[in-house]
Each structure stands twice: as structure tokens, then as C-alpha cells.
Amino acid sequence: MKQINVQEAKTHLSRLLEEAVAGEDIVIAKAGRPYVRLTPVVPERAPRVFGQLRGKIQIAADFDETPPEVVASFEGRPRGRRRR
């Protein structure tokens, strides 16, 4: 955290703004006591609109069917052996 007095902030405002945007934590003090903090403005995100891809994405009919060799790999069994 960088703390500077009001007079110095007036003199170097442009530089301080750049530092704040770059992530530096800057506090401006008045009479030696913290007074304000410089922080960058974060643009508000537009709310998400659900369903924009409706009808544009298709899931394969066999999506939930996992091949036995893949299941065996996850279970640490050699391929081709059936589970009892």
C-alpha cells in the first residue's frame, strides 16, 4: 500500500491514476491520516441471458452410454475384463 499526502497527489495525479489502474493500492492522506483510496472503475457486466444457444447445440443420442473399455480404464481394470 502506497500512502501519499493530498499535495503530492495533486502534483502527481496522472501517474497515481496509472498506478491504481495497474493494481497498486494507493491511499491519499490528509494531515497524515488515511482519507481516500484510489481504485480503478470496473465496468459492470451485462446480466447473462440464458437460452441463447437453444436449438443450436445438439447432444448425441448415445451421450450417456460409456464404452466398457473407458469404464475399465477409470476403474483401473485391464481392458476387456468384465466386472463381476
C-alpha cell read off for 48: 447473462
Residue 14 located in a structural domain: yes
Q: What is the pLDDT of residue 82?
A: 57
Q: Is residue 7 part of a domain?
A: yes
Q: What's residue 23's pLDDT?
A: 92
Say which CATH number the domain at 18 has: 3.40.1620.10
Dist. CA 36–CA 45, nearest whole Å: 26
Examine residue 55 and state whether it is found in any structural domain, yes or no: no
Give buried/exposed letters for 33-42 (b at 16+ CB in 10 A, else e): eeeeebeeee
Residue 58 lies in a domain: no
Side-by-side strand order, sheet with 33-38:
2-5, 26-30, 33-38
In a domain, 63, yes or no: no
Residue 20 lies inside a defined structural domain of this protein? yes
DSSP line for 1-47: -EEEEHHHHHHTHHHHHHHHHTT--EEEEETTEEEEEE-PPPPPPPP
Within a domain: 18: yes
Q: Give 4-56 pLDDT, tens digit per residue.
A: 999 999 999 999 999 999 999 999 999 999 999 999 998 899 999 999 899 99
pTM: 0.52
pLDDT tens for residues 24-38? 999 999 999 999 999
- Looking at the structure of the chain, the number of domains it has is 1
Domain enclosing residue 32, as ranges: 2-38
Whether 59 maps to a domain, the answer reads no
